[in-house]
Chain A
């Protein structure tokens, strides 16, 4: 036995993929041609798996803001928010996020992972309870495991199951944090947040919602599923990321609880890491403003989502349960998924290959994400690539 033995299953899969000449988990984007086109592993492709939901990564205003910040503030902060790493831009972004979400307080993190992991590990500790949706993201699972609270899962998107599990807690509900996501990253399905909030109101506890994949997509202001479901008052903490609809990297938490001011200085993933670079903060602030100024981006995004969803469904593929900017095609056989992924790439469509245990079931997924920046013609070309692969086994 050695320390390395446990990695052998991963090495075996790598060797298998290498023998097939396919490297889906290390595909190299060699050149970006636009928010929706690139050269990946030598192939000119339409990007259909980048989470660039609003297509803002090359927006001139975001680029200009980032360039100006580099010129004026340098390439990095070289320190923690708690030491030298809080610049005026970080504070301004926190204020703007709080205003956007209509909440009293906000914290900016260096990544979305640091935000969800940090909040999950800090809010509930030993003796407390966390009840989370079974399909929660790895950053949530990592956080709650680190925090040491008792962790209980409820069945995915099943408010009745949540009800049952909260009932069993009895008095412990006062020390309970419920965690769900807005839109789930793998299948693109939305949480039934109105029903979940009703269960929370019935028993108590605090509710944290990860809106990483729903910011800018849902609700009158684009605040996510909580806004769309009309239950923002029931949500105690909203966390999310800048790396999807805002086209940068970083994370946030917003809340009306005054305790967030003290919690900030207990979150290890906030304290013991360097703060986001000035250019990242600058482009994020620009993107947050543009997202509010351009509600039509949301409409374009959903039009594209509907077009891709309908097109893939019409091919007879097993698609996600509901229309969403994330459209996942379920492929039962892993080798078929690998083969399809590779052929899609060669046909000019880059999608994400997801294999267990990253997928929520024992099946593999070809996960597509659409952007407001996709043209209808690009969406059609993605559908055509799937049709070609399906019809020529």
Chain B
């Protein structure tokens, strides 16, 4: 199973095209308020991660996900 760092790395890769120009991505980057993702883009991000890791990511995790770190942690919990 992938570990936290693998999830993190992939999230950075997937996020690059979505994030606003010129913003440097890091673990504490906030998906909506900082990177400017719309709700639709957050859903697309989840779909891409599901396909890359061949796993199910329920939308139920989203209320607890604010930053890239939160998302990587949530994926690790789903797929321990």
Binding site for B on A (CB under 8 A): 129, 134, 148, 150-153, 155, 164-165, 168-169, 356-357, 361-362
Q: What 4 A-B pairs are tightest by C-beta distance, nearest first?
A: A150-B58, A151-B59, A168-B56, A151-B58
Given contacts A129-B58, A155-B47, A356-B38, 4 further A-B contacts (CB under 8 A): A134-B43, A152-B56, A357-B40, A362-B40
Contact (A152, B58) CB under 8 Å given A164-B51, A165-B50 = yes
CB distance from B15 to the nearest CB of A (A): 17
Interface membership of B57, Cβ < 8 A = yes
Q: Which B residues are closer than 8 A to A by beta carbons?
A: 38-40, 43, 46-47, 50-51, 54-60
Chain B nearest CB from A359 CB (Å) reads 10
On whether the beta carbons of B51 and A152 are closer than 8 Å, the reply is: no
A350 to chain B, nearest CB (A): 28
A150 to B50, CA, bound (A): 14
Known: A153-B47, A155-B47. A362 touches B56 (CB 8 A): no
| Residues of chain A contacted by B43 (CB below 8 angstroms) | 134, 153
B55 to chain A, nearest CB (A): 6
Residue of A nearest to B51 (CB): A164
Q: How far is the CB of A39 from chain B (nearest CB, A)?
A: 36
A357 touches B38 (CB 8 A): yes
Distance between Cα atoms of A151 and B50 in the complex (Å): 13
Most buried by A among B39, B43, B47: B47
B contact residues around A361 at 8 Å (CB): 40
B38, B56, B57: which has the most chain A beta carbons within 10 Å? B56
Instruction: Tell me, in angstroms, the Cα distance from A48 to B79 when the chains sit together.
Output: 49
Asked if B60 and A151 sit within 8 Å, CB to CB, the answer is yes
A residues near B57, Cβ cutoff 8 Å: 152
Q: List 30 A-B contacts (CB under 8 A).
A: A129-B56, A129-B58, A134-B43, A134-B47, A148-B60, A150-B56, A150-B58, A150-B60, A151-B58, A151-B59, A151-B60, A152-B50, A152-B57, A153-B43, A153-B46, A153-B47, A153-B59, A164-B51, A165-B50, A165-B56, A168-B50, A168-B54, A168-B55, A168-B56, A169-B56, A356-B38, A357-B39, A357-B40, A362-B38, A362-B40
Q: Which of B38, B54, B59 counts the most chain A CB atoms within 10 A?
A: B59
Contact status of A356 and B40, CB under 8 A, knowing A151-B58, A165-B56, A168-B56: yes
Which of chain A's residues has its CB closest to B58's CB? A150
B56: chain A residues at CB < 8 Å are 129, 150, 152, 165, 168-169
> What chain B residues lie within 8 Å of A151 (beta carbons)?
58-60
Q: Which residues of A contact B46 (CB under 8 A)?
A: 153
Chain B residue at minimum C-beta to C-beta distance from A361: B40
A362 to B55, CA, bound (A): 27
Interchain nearest-CB distance for A368 vs B (Å): 23
Q: Which residue of B lies closest to A170 (CB)?
A: B56
Q: Which residue of B lies closest to A164 (CB)?
A: B51
Which residue from chain A places its CB closest to the CB of B41 in the assembled complex?
A: A362
Bound-state CA distance A356–B39 (Å) is: 10
Instruction: Give complex CA distance A160, B49 in Å.
Output: 17
The residues of B that contact A152 with a CB separation of less than 8 Å are 50, 56-59
CA distance A313 to B47 in the complex (A): 32
CB contacts (< 8 Å) of B47 on chain A: these are 134, 153, 155
> Which A residue sits closest to B62, measured CB to CB?
A151
